[in-house]
Structure 1
Amino acid sequence: MGKSELYQSGMALPYSPNSSVQRDARNPSYLSQVYTIISVALLFTAFFLAQYDRFILSYFQLPLTTELNISSSEYAILSGYATGISFAILSIPLASIADRSKARLWILTLSIAWWSLSVVFQGLAHNYWQIATARVSMGIGQSAVEALTVSLISDLMGPRRYVSTGEGVLYMGIYVGEAISGQISTVFRRTGTSWRWALKGVGIFGIGLAIVIRVVMWKEPRRRDAIARSLTDEGEGEGNGQGTSFRNTLNYVISMRSFWLYTLAAGVRTLSGVVFGYYMPGYLQQLYPETKNLTSVYGIIVGVVGSATSLSGGLVTSALWPKTKLTPLYLVSAGGVLSSVFVILMVFSRELVGDKESGVKVLYGTLAAAYVTAELWLGPVNGLLVILFPPKYKTFAFSIYSAIVVLIYSSGPEIVGLALDGVNPDSENYAQSLKIILAVIIPLGYILSSIGFALCIPLVKADIKRQRPEFKSSTASLNP
């Protein structure tokens, strides 16, 4: 099999072009497969933990704001820029260090331990400034987790057509995190247990997870090629040209035709999702105060439907990879528009039906439909993007993308907080105002991002076709 054919098959490894290495990639041993499964499971757990830690406050919004005397605008800061700015500032240099030092696993391990300790301190906070400082510290620890886990999984999965499946598994962590948060908050309210123990407990668990990852994942995965290779072929070997390659990677990201619109669309889409995650549980509790199991059922729907949908998006992308590389863009473009309708129905479920029992049924049905249509995108979209980057520096390149996305979506809670500033969270006026805000921001973000991703389709085609001639034959089937 020639070099061009290897790349068409998706099996090529960038720095080990000999045939024996290629055969190992094509036919991995049983132990290698087991190691990959365990490693992906641990990375999933780390990513899930980051999402859980980030969103757990939304399920304890009322007791937390009451006990610590926190206003709506201060809660918005805790939910938005308290973690977003520190995340964005540090994610790029940490990812760059991880790539240049070949120490992604060590940096991930230390990051998990750091942010988990910060979560413990959140549970010990007695005023706004203490919990805000702990949230900033958590953002520092979580700053590189997405780029590191996405990069590691893309290398562990081997053939590039399966990268989307691996990323789909990874991003299930978002929905599992929300599901577990809902169950824990329900149990805590029933038993009268303080919200502080939820934070302390998960912080201690995270420190233990960091140790397990470092012990079990003993070797750094080999960096596997995908599509982008031209930058790493010219003037760069395994041990030289790091400074030049660093600059080349920056130049590559800047010169990509799709990167900026792709990033903007992802940021707007995630902004809607963050507003949904931080404010929807509290709003629904106020809308249906007499429904005791609301947050529990809400969490189950989000966890089960969201996880299944995320995984399905990855599997569909992998299945259709030989025919088209652009399945994620089609999924997110159509799904966002459809989901916006279900979100509006969910927000106004009680008014549409008239009685609480039927309203709750409509709520659960439209919530499930919203997740089925909206959540196919995240893993496959990020998986598609990461394979466009030079393999040796894809962690750094992806961190640029994720930092910009974080800065965009962190403004979502700030917008909501400013709109609700001075309004008593227990009042009817708060619930009515929040209803309008959710019915506008979430669907609008879904629709705008769908338009953005649709416009990205020809740009991504152009970016793939920019590659050297031997790769063009493997991208000839871009159209479905």
Structure 2
Amino acid sequence: MSPAPPPRDRWYVLAVLTVVYSLNIADRFSISTLIEPIREELHLSDSGIAFLTGVALAVFYVTLGIPIADLADRVSRRNILAISIAVWSGMTALCGLAHSYWQLLLARFGVGIGEAGGTPPSTSILADKFPPARRPMALTIFALGACLGAWLGSQVAGEVAERSGWRAAFLVLGVPGLAVALVVALTVREPRRGQLDHSPPAAAGTLGDTVWFITRQRSAVHLLLGGSVATFWSWGLMWWTPTFLQRSHHMTVGQAGQLLGLMHLIAGTAGTLLAALLMARRAAADPRYVTRLLGWVTALTTIPSIALYWVQSRELATVLLWVFVPAVYFYIGPILGLLQNVIPAGMRATACALLLFIANVANLVLAPQLIGWLSDWFAAAFSAGSESLRWALLLLAPTGFWAAWHLWTSGATIREDVARAS
């Protein structure tokens, strides 16, 4: 095990990569905030807009994520990351120049290609900047980028769209990313792989090696499934929540974006920091504490996630959202950190990409498309009108209990699995 990098260096890298993650997340929340004005202009059904905004991104995002991560386990992660940021930022800006369904579809494909190279190299770099006991805390702070990005993609996109149209929102969010790509390329130093682990790093494993190792790590399997179902539940609900507020509670796109943006920034940050505070010391002593806490928090917050789509009062729905939103962020950093600890150094980027592959199929393809189809079906079969989306969301919300079971169960063998990985 090599000496840890200077604190100043590792905290700087953590700050930069957190900004990078925020830009990644901002795109997804901008498109979900802008679903209704885009759908109305392009005359699409709910299932049609779900394909354009979710599936189009996911086609390349989830299929390229694993091969790019496999490459990141072998070559410069910093360079892959810088190129990826430039691609997705440029294509996000091009979404603002689209004037037809096909132009916007092609731009969304490009965003997916770029975003595929974002998170796996970032988490792998951070794993080599922070020692094992500090990784869950560091990656929980990294997850703050999701709160910042959700605020940018919700409030900023909503306000810009209300004043200048949805195309201007994409331009405002896309162009700054090009400068961030340059900062990463020029200032982030590539760390030596496995330099902080307790044993010399093994050579980079193949995709098959990584999958085979994961199948023998019960905790890793449950972390992958728990994280994936949790994103299906939480991010699937949040994908359609701006549209739900606009239809069922008669908000404008700017009002919905402002409300949700503040929730993501304030409540999401609180949930993320609370996770870091609760886990910073106890995680080092016993990772089972983390898995149990994740299970309890996810199960308990599933209850308000159901109720908020049931109640008719805008005020009560707003209160329930304030309770639910912190849970959307609470599990992200801890799961990423725990997964890094149960996987050998040479397989971490690929393992992260596998998690992202399954999770993003769940929250970018299955959840949005399923909700879109169900909403269309309720509207046609029961003449539900604007309330069809409410009933579709109520069917998705209870899946939080499923996620909670996986997260709790991952603790059964996690101490043995950490020892085997190191």
Aligned-partner Cα distance in 2 for 1:214–1:227: 26
Match of 1:183 among 136, 152, 155: 155
- Deviation track 1:126-171 (CA, whole Å, cap 9, x = no partner) reads 2222211211221111112111111112222x22222122111211
Match of 1:319 in 2: 281
Match of 2:193 in 1: 223
Whether the 8 Å CA contact 1:83–1:139 is kept in 2: the answer is yes
Mapping 1:73-472, distance limit 5 Å: 73-101=47-75, 103-156=76-129, 158-188=130-160, 190-191=162-163, 193-217=164-188, 219-224=189-194, 229=199, 232=202, 248-289=209-250, 293-350=255-312, 359-373=313-327, 375-409=329-363, 410-421=365-376, 429-442=384-397, 444-466=398-420
State the AA in 2 paired with 1:207: L
Q: What is the DSSP-based 3-state SS (H/G/I as helix, E as strand, rest coil) of the residue aligned with 2:287?
A: coil
Aligned-partner Cα distance in 2 for 1:286–1:246: 44
Whether the 8 Å CA contact 1:55–1:178 is kept in 2: the answer is yes
Aligned-partner Cα distance in 2 for 1:337–1:419: 24
Match of 1:55 in 2: 29
Q: What is the DSSP-based 3-state SS (H/G/I as helix, E as strand, rest coil) of the residue aligned with 1:326?
A: helix
Q: What is the DSSP-based 3-state SS (H/G/I as helix, E as strand, rest coil) of the residue aligned with 1:375?
A: helix
The alpha carbon displacement at 1:78 in A equals: 2.4
Q: TM-score, normalised by structure 1?
A: 0.81
Go from structure 1 to structure 2 and tell me whether the alpha carbon gap of 1:458 and 1:285 turns closer, same or farther (over 3 Å shift).
same
Whether the 8 Å CA contact 2:272–2:330 is kept in 1: the answer is yes
State the AA in 2 paired with 1:376: F
State the AA in 1 paired with 2:330: L
Whether the 8 Å CA contact 1:281–1:295 is kept in 2: the answer is yes
Aligned-partner Cα distance in 2 for 1:422–1:458: 41
- Deviation track 1:182-241 (CA, whole Å, cap 9, x = no partner) reads 3224423553x1110111122111111101211121x20233466785872xxx5xxxxx
The alpha carbon displacement at 1:448 in A equals: 0.5
Between the two proteins, the alignment pairs up a number of residues equal to: 419
Go from structure 1 to structure 2 and tell me whether the alpha carbon gap of 1:423 and 1:72 turns closer, same or farther (over 3 Å shift).
farther
Q: What is the DSSP-based 3-state SS (H/G/I as helix, E as strand, rest coil) of the residue aligned with 2:218?
A: coil
Percent identity at matched positions?
23
State the AA in 1 paired with 2:247: Q
Aligned-partner Cα distance in 1 for 2:196–2:311: 46
Whether the 8 Å CA contact 1:342–1:369 is kept in 2: the answer is yes
The alpha carbon displacement at 1:84 in A equals: 1.8
Whether the 8 Å CA contact 1:58–1:278 is kept in 2: the answer is yes
Aligned-partner Cα distance in 1 for 2:258–2:369: 27
Aligned-partner Cα distance in 1 for 2:40–2:226: 36
Whether the 8 Å CA contact 2:155–2:257 is kept in 1: the answer is yes
Q: TM-score, normalised by structure 2?
A: 0.91
Go from structure 1 to structure 2 and tell me whether the alpha carbon gap of 1:221 and 1:421 turns closer, same or farther (over 3 Å shift).
same
Choose 273-282 or 110-119, whichever is displaced more.
273-282
The alpha carbon displacement at 1:464 in A equals: 2.8
Q: What is the DSSP-based 3-state SS (H/G/I as helix, E as strand, rest coil) of the residue aligned with 1:389?
A: coil
Q: Which structure would you say has the larger Rg?
A: 1
The alpha carbon displacement at 1:387 in A equals: 1.7
